[in-house]
Amino acid sequence: MSGMRPRHVLVVDDEKRIREVVDYALKKDGFRVSEAADAEHALTLLERELPDLVVLDVMLPGIDGLELCRRIRARAAVPILFLSARGDEVDRIVGLELGGDDYLTKPFSPRELVARVRAVLRRSHNQEANPERGKVYRHGRLELDPERHRARFDSREVPLTATEFALLLALLERPGVVLTRAQLMQHAYSGEHVTERTLDTHVRRIRAKFRGFSADPIATVHGVGYRAGEC
């Protein structure tokens, strides 16, 4: 769109070839790209300017990608797309449990990477295409403000990743309605294909973040799906 700044992606990978491939694919698609070969350099860049998304290799030298994800999450809710040479499901789940929004296994298609980046950003910035721009959703003591990407419970802020926010918003947009897993994935992931295991991981993370309030914003309707919980 004319006049809009290009989305900024930080690519963190110790392999120069991978950085070059990702850099080329993203820039070709209109993104602005910064690069870092290790966690220390990435943290320095993050101090200067918070990107719209981080593409993060799991197997970094020194501070690995999982620890870097923890440190990023401690300071910001910027979306994170993990890259890894390991495709084991356990690795994917660990990455998502730590706050990753998506996971791509090497070797990967540059076209698929760009598609995944765009899908995560759509979830993160969905309010830009929302006809109810500016609307704040309230359900009991829970409040979601999509325009500011802000979640509050009893007026206390709850840090949510882009994907976690999108899942919770999908339920609060239809209070009282039970969504099947397929419906919830369709609404929250913008039609992007994800596994039920990935959905379960994000639901589990959301519940963990509200455990300190002795609340569960997501109610399981056994044999059917999910609805907004009693808050």
- Residues 108 and 148 both lie in one domain: no
Residues 57 and 87: beta-carbon distance below 8 Å: no
- Residues 111 and 30 both lie in one domain: yes
Residues 102-127 have a mean pLDDT of 85
- Residues 24 and 76 both lie in one domain: yes
Which residues are CB-neighbours of 201 under 8 A, at least 6 positions away? 93, 96, 97
- Residues 175 and 83 both lie in one domain: no
- Residues 188 and 145 both lie in one domain: yes
Residues 168-182 have a mean pLDDT of 89
Which residues are CB-neighbours of 144 under 8 A, at least 6 positions away? 136, 137, 138, 150, 151, 165, 168, 169, 172
3-state DSSP assignment of residue 80: strand
In this model, does residue 47 exceed pLDDT 70?
yes
Of 124, 141, 166, which residue sits at a domain end? 124
Higher pLDDT, 167 or 231: 167
Residue 53 confidence (pLDDT) = 95
Of 65-74, 147-156, 188-197, 217-226, the one with minimum mean pLDDT is 188-197
- Residues 27 and 105 both lie in one domain: yes
Of 124, 159, 194, which residue sits at a domain end? 124
In this model, does residue 191 exceed pLDDT 60?
no
Number of domains in the chain: 2
- Residue at 2 is within a domain: no
- Residues 203 and 117 both lie in one domain: no
Provide the residue count of the chain: 231
List the domain range (segments joined by +) for residue 158. Answer: 128-228
pLDDT in tens, 96-108: 777 788 888 888 9
Residue 64 confidence (pLDDT) = 92
